[in-house]
Amino acid sequence: MTAAPAAAPKPAGTASTATVLAPVDGTIEPIDQVPDETFAEKLLGDGFAAIPKSGTIVAPVSGKVSTVAQAKHAVGITTDAGLEVLVHIGIDTVQLNGDPFTVKVTEGRQITAGDPIVEVDWNAVRAAGKATDVIVVFTNPALVDALAITAAGAVTSGSPVGTVTTK
């Protein structure tokens, strides 16, 4: 009787580290300070937010646009490493039925970090009584090995705010 062949070694991990960019000109806010329990309690995953000072929202990471919400208030991006990133614009803004948002991307499109993804009329958002936090959430936390948001205070749209490392 012959011994079973030894199992092939597992391939090296596909871990990668990506720079995460500010989605908007504004001020960085820890996710646990977002005025919405779903985000603050990290029910969708870890991340960060920015209090906006401009109306152009840019992609915080490179990847493929996986989702554009019907209400135009959120865009999902999947990186080459498989990381799912949600850019959610405002709190309870789904109720605005897309009116203050002009989406600049389509599902399936490959984008580069820093590319404009949505233009927002913040005056309309505020007039509707909605908070303006722009939230970036990594929605498949099992793939995240480390998230380090190192920026604090004022940030410029498209500038590095930290890194995310996948497993």
Return the domain boundaries, the chain.
27-166
The rounded distance, in Å, linking the Cα atoms of 63 and 82 is 9
Where b means 16+ CB within 10 Å and e means fewer, 135-158 reads bbbbbeeebbeebebebeeebebb
For residue 8, how far is the Cα from the chain centroid? Answer: 37
Instruction: Give the whole-number percent of the chain exceeding pLDDT 90.
Output: 91
Summarize pLDDT for 42-63 with one digit per residue, the tens: 999 999 999 999 999 999 999 9
Q: What is the pLDDT of residues 92-130, one digit of tens each?
A: 999 999 999 999 999 999 999 999 999 999 999 999 999
Active-site choice (72, 88, 104, 130): 88
Is 73 known to be catalytic?
A: no
Pick 27-166's CATH classification: 3.40.50.300, 1.20.1640.10, 3.10.20.30, 2.70.70.10: 2.70.70.10
Segment (H or E) for 76 = strand 74-78
> Does residue 72 register a pLDDT over 50?
yes
Angstrom CA distances, 139 to 6, 19, 124, 132, stand at 37, 17, 28, 20
More confident residue, 138 or 7: 138
